[in-house]
Each structure stands twice: as structure tokens, then as C-alpha cells.
Amino acid sequence: MLANSWNLLVVLGGVMALGISFGILSPFLVLQRRALIGDVVAHAALPGTVLGFLGAAAAGFDPRSSWWLWGGAIGTGALAIAALGGLERHGRLRRDAAMAAVLATGFGLGTALLSLVQQVALPGRAGLGGLLLGQAASMQAVDLLAAWAVMAAVLVVVVLLWKELLTVTFDPLFAKVAGLGGGRLEMILMALLLVAIATAMRSVGLVLLVALLVLPGVTARLLTDRMTRLVPLSAFMGALAALGGTLASTRFADLPTGAATVLAAATLFAMALAVRHGWLDRATSLPVRQLP
Amino acid sequence: MMIDEAFWQLDFPAIMAASFAAAACALVGSLLVLRRESLAGDALSHLVLPGIVVAWVVTGSLAAWAMLGGALAAALLGTSLLAALGRHRLIGPEAATGIVFTTMFAAGVVMLSQWVGRRVHLDVDHALYGNLEGVVWPDLTSLAGLLNIDVLAQAPRQLPMLASAIVVVAALLWMLRKEIVLASFDPENAALLGVPPGRIDRLVALLTATVVVASFESVGAILVVALLICPAATARLLTDRYGRQLLLATAIGLADCWIGYLIAVAGPPILGYDLALGAAGTIAFVSGLMLGIVLLVQRAMVSPGRGSAGPEGWTRAGT
């Protein structure tokens, strides 16, 4: 699928950086028991991406410009997080209903707008088709830079706010009492998530990036109980899945990188599950013959 | 929108398909909202993909029974995986959902790309975005056509599929109403009284899968998620009674469909554009908008802190 080695390097570097960013964020979301928030944000980022495309075209810029698409995605993604908070605070709807409602509403608007784009002749509209399943091969140098910038931001924030993040994750009540700024910390975490999702939309696709937000964290959680090991291990799992998925998609024609990456991450998860429960030992050890 | 021959051939069947889907979804969706399983619709609509692809490869047909069979098999596999992983101490239900549906969806995408390629029209995009505009009924040229048996025989295949889904869902919900309510609100007591909650869980999952698959082709996965949850959640804001919840959700779902379709078809021309919005997406957006409006109106009218969200706020009267 990937023609030459420069392309391959760009894609590999970009997808692996995204895998690491998601891998670092994943344990916090999983441990806070809201692994699917990324699903909601990613679906709700679709209308923003299309609006960004239309906005760029209307303002006379190149509608394929990544900046406009990212800006739009972050905009409606943030709206979705706000709407989610509003629905939950109202009190009568539970979180699952609020999440499903926001997800479907945002995505519905996105598909309605996409159908509009398909009826007008604008250059580059074909590029929007890959938002669902992702087109890693279309990654450009700017996407690579963005992925690395996001990774750096995630790393810096998590290292600097390590203690606070741990407190909020494991003891939100204490964090509140101690005045650790749960609200602000929450906003920082969501902002990181938003930016990471916006930059990953076109390469991994909005359905499949959810897997990279859940699988590495759970996989690492099966293998260790210590947070100082869990987060690096999760980042490593994300990078490994991205490497495996990208390389697999170069071997087989038409194999989408995003889907291959998810299957690689799922394989790692299954292996961790097997290790945790000792299935491998049992399968490889010889059966003990029972005496009559 | 003019009521002419084209209306009966193009718009009417599309509105009917959306309405049928809305009715079936509202019934099942109310259950999902009450049982706090709202994300099951989202998960199921994705994880049936590999089942549909395998069914297509094995039988070589895109007939309704093949798709439904494959999808239900995938749904059974997916829900058992979900339940097993969700019980795991270190994983939990939400992460399990995220793992199972994305992995099965990715497997479906890979199967599509490797086995099916671009040769046939088994389009992921259509399944996800929905193609309400594709539900056409060339033989229906006027209202009277609905009474003509020859015309009825030529109905687009989505309509009988959706109609049977409504019948199945409504009949099961009616016959098992006591068991479902008991198992959903008070699983421990239900087990004591001889209603195994696990069996009801599987039944709800299967009903959801049936509705999702029946609606797949016409309204698409995402509109299914919207129609499952948004009308049911809107009704949940307005009533605490089970029976009223089901009726109200259905009515709201139908209203969402009609308003959404009207906006999709008539909206852009009114603004002077010769375009149309995708009907499925617009309906999904309208259903969410309706939820937001009801919520805001309610918040303006009711003093804060009054509404209780728990099952304790529910009465079993009216069931």
C-alpha cells in the first residue's frame, strides 16, 4: 500500500507517535472507568472536520489544509464534552445514555454535512472519505510533525502533573478536598485527548482510534499493578501495535493501516490475558498421565 | 415537498423505512436506557460487521436472511465476549465494550479489504452512514397503491424486514413484560422468583441486534444508535412510568423522523441551495437536538435538584 520508503517512514513515525500518545492517555481513562469518552469525542469531531473543510473552502484556503480540519474537529469535540457534562449534571439521564446521545447526534450532523460536501465540486473532498477508517498512506510531513508535537505535549504534561493525575485517578474525592484542582486537571486531560484525536482522525480513522485509547491501557493493566510501570508499558504497547499494523499493511495490498493496528493491539491484549491467567503454561506443559 | 408521483416512489418509502426503524428502536432503546446499557447499540452496530462479511463470503448472497443470520451470530459471539471481559476484575464493562466492538469491527474491515476487495458493492460506508435515499418503491405511484396487492409485493425489501422486526420486538416485550421489568430493576429478586437475569440480558442483546440489523441497510448504523437512545432518553426526561416510557419514546422517535426528513429534503432549497442533506444523518441530529431542547426547557421550568435519576424514582405502576 505504501509506495516508497520515505512515505513508509512518515507513516511509521506518525502512527507510532500517535500510538504512544494514546498509550500514555489510555491507562488514566481506563482506570477512571471512562474508556469510551474517546469514542464520543471522535464521533463528535466528524462534523467539525467537515465544517473546517467547508470553512477553509469558503475563506479561499486550500480545504485540504490539515489546520482547518484539526481546528474544526477540536471545536465540535469540545462542544461534545461540554454537552456530555451538561446532560450528566441534569441528573435524570445516566452517563451511558448521555454518551450515546451525544455520540449519535454529533455523528449524525457529520454525515449530513458530508453528504452536502459530496454534492458540491470542491478540490480534495475525496480526502474526507477516509475519516471513518483512516488513510495512513495519505499522511504528510505536517501530519508527522503534529503527531510528534502531540506526543511531546502528552509526555510533558503527564510527567509534570504525575502526582496530581494519580490522585485524581485513584482518589477523586481526596483530590477535591486537597484542592488539587480536579476540574482544571480534568480539562487538561480532555484537551490532550481532543488534540490527539483530532490529529489521528485522518490516519487511523475515528472508529478505530477508540481501540488505541482502550487496548494498550488494559493490556498493561493485566501485566502490572504499579502505575510507574503501567503507563510506560501502555505507551510501549501502543507503539508496538502501531509498528505491527503499519508493517502488516505494507505487506498486504489494500490492508488498511488503522484496522491492522487495532488487530495488532488486540493480539497483544489476548497475549497479556493468556500470560496473566497462565494459559500458555498450561497449553505447553505435557499432560500428566493419571494413574488408574 | 410536492405530493406527486415522485413523492410516493421516493420520499414515502424512505419516510416509512425511517418510521418503522424509529418505532422498533424506541421500544428496544427504552430498555437499554433503563438498564444503563445505552452504548450497547453503538457496540452492536459495529461488531456485527464481520458476521455480515463472513455470511456474504460463505453464501455468496446479500439476501436478508444471510445478512441477518451472520449478524446475529456475530452479535451472540460479541455479547458473550463482552460479558466475559466485563466481569474481569481488571477490565470492567466500559473498557470491555471498547475492546470488543473495535476489534470485531477492525476484523470486519480487514476481511472486507482482503476477501471482498472493491469488486462488489458491500460498502462499509453505506452500512455506517445509511442510505435512506436508497429505499425506493417504483411501483407505488399514489396512496391507493398501498391497497393493491401487486404493488405491495414489490415493496422495497427493507420495509417488510423492518415491519417484522417491530412485530417480533413488540410481541416479546408484551409477553415478557413482567420478567423484563423485574430482571432489569431488581436482578436479585428476579433470580429468587425464578426469572434468570442472565437470560433476560441475552434476550435484550438479541433484540437489540435484530433491530440494528433490520435497520442497517436503510438507516445505517449511526442513525440506529440515535434512534435507539435519543427518543428513549427524551421520554425518560418526561415520565417515570414504564408503559408511558415506551409509548412516548415511540411517538418522539416518529416525530424526530418526520421533522428530520423534512429538514433534509426541504431545508437547503428554502435557503436557496439546490442540494439535499443526507436524511439519515439529519434525522439523527434532529433527534439529539430534540433531547437538548426538552432538557433545556425542563431545566428552565423545574427547580434544580428535584429530578431523581435512580431506579428508586421509578414506579412499577403502568406496566
Does B239 reach chain A within 8 Å, measured CB to CB? no
User: Tens of pLDDT along B10-54?
Assistant: 788 888 888 898 998 988 888 888 888 888 888 888 888 888 888
Q: Measured between CA atoms, how close is B228 to chain A, in angstroms?
A: 9
Place of cell 408503559: B243
Q: With bands split at pLDDT 50, 70 and 90, how would you rate the model's confidence at B254?
A: very high
Rounded to whole angstroms, how far apart are CA atoms B110 and A235? 24
Q: Mutate which of B102, B259, B291 to test chain A, going by most A C-beta atoms within 10 A?
A: B102
Burial profile B144-165: b = 16 or more Cβ within 10 angstroms, e = fewer? ebeeeeebeeebbebbebbbeb
pLDDT of A127 > 70? The answer is no
Q: B130 versus A101: which is more confidently predicted?
A: A101
Are the C-beta atoms of residues B169 and B28 closer than 8 Å to each other? yes
List the one residue out of A36, A50, A113 whose CA is nearest residue A81: A36
pLDDT of B252 > 90? The answer is yes
For helices B12-34 and B39-47, the axis angle rounded to 10 degrees is: 120
List the one residue out of B308, B97, B153, B289 whose CA is nearest residue A106: B289
Residues whose CB is less than 8 angstroms from the CB of residue A203 and which lie 6 or more positions away in sequence, other chains included = A11, A14, A15, A18, A134, A135, A136, A138, A139, A143, A147, A257, A258
pLDDT at B318: 39
pLDDT at B192: 79
Mean pLDDT estimate for chain A: 83
Instruction: Read off the amino acid at residue B245.
Output: Q
Q: What is the pTM of this model?
A: 0.84
pLDDT at B312: 42
Q: B24 versus A206: which is more confidently predicted?
A: B24
For helices B242-270 and B12-34, the axis angle rounded to 10 degrees is: 140
| Contact residues, chain A, for B107 at CB < 8 Å | 259, 263
List the one residue out of B192, B215, B202, B194 whose CA is nearest residue B172: B202
With CA atoms as reference, the chain B residue closest to A208 would be: B102
Cβ pair B226:A104 closer than 8 A: yes
DSSP annotation of B241 reads: B
pLDDT at A130: 67
Place of cell 436479585: B188
User: Tens of pLDDT along A209-261?
Assistant: 888 999 999 999 999 888 889 999 999 999 999 999 888 888 887 788 888 89
Rounded to whole angstroms, how far apart are CA atoms A267 and B309? 39
Q: Measured between CA atoms, how close is B154 to chain A, in angstroms?
A: 28
Rounded to whole angstroms, how far apart are CA atoms B280 and B125? 13
Q: B214 versus B118: which is more confidently predicted?
A: B214
pLDDT at B315: 43
Q: Which of B225, B292, B295 sits opposite A104 (nearest CB)?
A: B225
pLDDT at B308: 46
Does B237 reach chain A within 8 Å, measured CB to CB? yes
Cβ pair B284:A260 closer than 8 A: no
